[in-house]
Chain A
Amino acid sequence: MTVHEEFADELALLALGSLQGEERAAVEKHLEGCAACRLELQQLRGEMALLALSTAGPKPPARAKERLMRTIAKEPRSQRSESHRAPWWAVLGWATAAAMIIMFTLLWQQNRTLEQQVAGLSAELKQQQAELAKARAIVATLTKPDAVITVVKANTLPQPQGKAFYVRDPARLVFIANNLPQLPPQKAYELWLIPASGAAPIPAAVFKPDAHGSATVINPPLPVGVQPKAFAMTIEPEQGSSTPTMPIVMVGGA
C-alpha cells in the first residue's frame, strides 16, 4: 500500500492540526476510503509524539500531582461505569486503578494478537478471492453457449494440438495446447486470431510451452466483437511480433 502523493503534504498538516475548511474536508473524505493514508496519518502522529520528546527535561511541580489526586478523588469515572458503580468504588480507588492498569495491558496484548490474526486471514481471503475470480472467468468462457471452439493442429507426430475457446463479446479466449515442439532459444509461440472479415491477423498471445510441451493461455486482451475465421500459431521472437512470421506452424478454422 502506498500513500497518495497528492495528499502526502496535507496529511502532515492534518496531523499537526494546521488544515482547516475545504482542504481539511477533502483530506478527511479521502481518508474515509484510503487505509494507506490513514496509516500514514497515524505514523505522522507518531512522529509528532517523538517531537514532544525533544522538550523532555522540566518536571511538573509536586503540587500538580496532589492537585490531580484531589480532583480525581471527587471526579466520577466514565459514563459507562457510572451505572454499575458500587459504593465501595471510591474507597478502593487505588486497587481499582492498579487492576485497570493490569487489565489495560492484558486487553492490549490480546487485541494486538487478534489484529495480527485478522490481518493474516484477510490476506488469505483476498488471495482466494482472486483465484476464485480467475477460475470463474475460465469456466465462463468454457461454458458460454456462443463460445467458438477451434482445434488447431499440425501433421507431425506426436501430433501437437491446441484448443481455442473463444467468445466474441465480451472478448474471452482460453487456449490449451499439448505436445508442442520445444522452441529454439529466444523464440516463443504466438497465437493469432484471423478475422473472418479478411482484416490482418490479430496477435492474441505470446507464450512458451512447459517441459512437456503443454501451454495454456487465459483471457489475453483482445478487441471486442471480432468474428474469427481461424486461429493460427507461428514461431516469433520472445517479445512477440505484430504480424505473423511464416511459416504457420499450426492452424485451425472456427
Chain B
Amino acid sequence: MAQLYDRYSPIVYSVALRVLGDTGAAEDVLQDVFIQLWKNPGLFDSSRGNLGAWLSVIARNRAIDALRKRRPESEIADVIVSVQPDLAGDAERSRAMEKVRGALGAMPSAQRSALELAYFEGLTHTEIAAKTGEPLGTVKTRIRSGLLQLRKAFQT
C-alpha cells in the first residue's frame, strides 16, 4: 500500500486540490480514495484500466462530489477506464503530462474553458451554457471534441 501510495498519491492529491482549491479538503479526498482501495482491493482489477488512470478518475469524481456537497455516488465499482499510456512510471507520467498540457494549450480558448468547467468545476453542460451564454448543443460538442483532441494527441 505504501508503494502504491508513493506512486499515485501525487496525481490523486493534485487533481483533488485543483478541483477543491483547499489543501485540507484535497487531503480528505486523498485519504478517502486510498482507504477505499485498501478496504476493497477487489474494486480494482485489470479490466478497469491501469491503476493510475482509475485512481485519478475516482479522485476527480470524489472531489467534485465534495465540491458540490453531494453524497459520494456509489459509482466506484462501475468505473471502467481505458487509457493508452501506462501511468505507473514517473517517466511515462511526465511524458503524458507534457502531451496533455500541449493538447490543452492547442485548443481554442472557448473549448478549453468548456472542458475545464465541466472537468474541474463539475458544472453540467446546462450550467456551462447558462454561464457562457452559448447554445447547449455547442457546449456539449465542445466538451466531447475536447476529450477527443486529447485522445488524438496520444495516437500520434
Contacts and interface: CB of A to CB of B under 8 A. Distances in A.
Nearest to A109: B46
A208 B101 CA distance: 58
A107 B45 contact: yes
B100 interface: yes
B118 A16 contact: yes
Nearest to B33: A68
Contacts of A71: 31, 35
Nearest to B47: A111
20 contacts: A9-B141, A12-B140, A13-B118, A16-B118, A17-B61, A43-B83, A43-B151, A45-B83, A46-B53, A46-B81, A48-B147, A52-B14, A53-B93, A55-B17, A58-B13, A59-B9, A59-B10, A60-B10, A64-B13, A108-B45
Given A9-B144, A75-B39, A48 B13 contact: no
A77 B93 contact: no
A177 B59 CA distance: 68
Q: Range of interface residues on chain A?
A: 35 or more
A47 B118 CA distance: 13
A50 B41 contact: no
Q: Range of interface residues on chain B?
A: 35 or more
Contact of B60 (A11, A43, A52): A52
A47 B59 contact: no
Contact of B35 (A11, A52, A68): A68
Interface string B82-115: 1111010000011011011100100000000001
A117 interface: no
Contacts of A42: 49, 80-82
Given A51-B115, A71-B35, A101-B3, 6 more contacts: A45-B79, A46-B53, A48-B147, A51-B119, A76-B39, A78-B39
Contacts of A92: none
A15 B80 CA distance: 10
